[in-house]
Chain A
Amino acid sequence: MGYTLNFGAVWRDFDLLLAGLALGLGMAIVSILIGCVIGLVAAFAMISKQGWLRRIAGTYVTVIRNSPPLVLILLAYFALPQVLGMRIGKLEAFIGTLAIYAGAYLTEVFRGALLALPGGLREAGLAIGLTERQTKAYVIVPVMVRNALPALSNNFISLFKDTSLAAAIAVPELTFYARQINVHSFRVVETWLVASLMYVAACYLIAAGLRQLEQRLAIPR
């Protein structure tokens, strides 16, 4: 075969790869935060008594979850500016799309967590004179979020992996740099080995960290 491993090219640009990884992480965090807001709103909409709210939220979830994220990203970056008549930055377009994509999945997570709540919880809040809004804020959402933590963690890790799609519109994240290094240096095996290892390691660390968080936030029993 005559292929000798030479990591030199990769090490030289390792700082780029790290920067790309950090950007990916940052994009994932921003997207999941926005996605959580969307997901919470939509989850409450899906269990609301108003039919039209349920239908809108349900349509949003069904359409987004069944659409390829790459198509959504291209729509946001290339097609939306045409519609709005103004240019949209790559980063904004990507994060916005990722947030909307995440929101659809998080809606299901939160909806499941809401349905798993003991029925009397809301009434107990109302019975001491809290308004619906206060009951939601102090009683329902805190318990629901704790229930949703494991699923939230899984979704975050998926989202982090999906940030690799940003490379398709030339956002300088890890995959984008890996591709560049690959093309410039022809060191194919080394580049992709290092890139994939970085993702795997990052996912592993994130998962471990989130597990710690879950244990910290868990209600003592």
Chain B
Amino acid sequence: MAELVLQIENLHKKFKDVEVLKGVDMSLATGDVVSIIGSSGSGKTTLLRCVNMLEEFHEGRILIDGEEIGYSGPQHKARKESEIARQRAMTGMVFQQFNLFPHMTVQRNVTLGLTKVKKLPVEEANSMADKWLARVGLQDRRDHYPGQLSGGQQQRVAIARAVAMNPKVMLFDEVTSALDPELVNEVLSVIKDLATEGMTMLLVTHEMKFAFEVSDRVVFMNQGRIEEEGPPEELFRKPKSQRLAEFLKSSKF
């Protein structure tokens, strides 16, 4: 049986008094590509952000390679900030708004984590960065600044920045939603390549066609719970739940 890279057990999260995640269970084995779909407010982005502790949660466990993320022990005691930072390096996140560091060159954006978190020497970090920038097709832009790049180019750099850290799981948070339509494909094809090469990925996305093509499994979330889960052919072609059917219809898939 393949190793379970990511395990989410009975995850509950509250924003003030509103419970936005009501007991979510999920597991990913190495190389799994899982897409999470659902309408806004379903909790899908919150779920993703819990995995790298950008959001806190008050009940449940998240494990990466068997290590409990963010908290430890039966009392759900929060870990020290430095530990959480180290654990975050085990995941890579790509944001909807790219969030590149505007004051650093493209290459420095990628090497910052390598030098400050992984403590690699500068030459090694630079050559790793160049390798990944070449993979996303932007090695000739490495001395440019984010403000000089298009949205699609910025997002590809963001992917390189995350992947260069050699994470165990890649988290994609609606990474094409802020892009002009003609720039979406260049990003999707990079993600597709990564998936083919065996990267473990959890994607929150609106791009139904893409989710259908690239995923091993699709998860439909509704109101803080996983409503349905399964291989893309099943979920998209033969939805079992009423709400999923409605959702797919309104998404014109």
Contact = CB atoms under 8 A, between A and B. Distances in A.
Given A118-B99, A123-B99, A130 B117 contact: yes
B43 to A, nearest CB: 18
Given A127-B92, A132-B81, A146 B99 contact: no
B86 A129 contact: yes
B226 interface: no
Interface stretch (A21-29, A30-38, A136-144, A200-208): A136-144
B97 A128 contact: no
Contacts of B103: 142-143, 146, 219
Interface in A50-88: none
Contacts of A125: 101
Contacts of A221: 145, 147-148
B85 A126 contact: yes
A219 B145 contact: yes
Contacts of A142: 103
Contacts of A219: 102-103, 145, 147
B54 interface: yes
Interface in A104-149: 118, 120-121, 123-132, 134, 138-139, 142-143, 146
Contacts of B91: 127
Nearest to A143: B103
A129 B99 CA distance: 15
B52 to A, nearest CB: 6
A2 interface: no
Interface string B116-151: 111000000000000000000000000011011000
B102 A124 contact: no
Nearest to A120: B99
Given A132-B81, A221-B148, A126 B99 contact: no
B33 interface: no
Interface residues on A, range: 20 to 34
B97 A130 contact: no
A89 interface: no
B247 interface: no
B36 interface: no
Contacts of B89: 128-129
Identify which of B100, B103, B113, B158 gathers the most chain A CB atoms within 10 Å of its CB.
B103
Contacts of A143: 101-103
Contact of A127 (B81, B93, B102): B93
B165 interface: yes
A127 B52 contact: yes
B61 interface: no
Contacts of B82: 131
B99 A220 contact: no
A194 B116 CA distance: 54
B244 interface: no
A127 B147 CA distance: 21
B44 interface: no
B200 to A, nearest CB: 16
Contacts of B165: 128-129
Q: List the 10 closest pairs (A to B, CB-CB), nearest first.
A: A129-B89, A221-B147, A124-B99, A128-B113, A120-B99, A129-B117, A127-B93, A131-B85, A129-B88, A142-B103
Interface of A: 118, 120-121, 123-132, 134, 138-139, 142-143, 146, 219-221
Given A126-B88, A127-B91, A128-B165, 9 more contacts: A120-B98, A120-B99, A124-B95, A124-B158, A126-B54, A126-B85, A127-B88, A143-B101, A220-B144
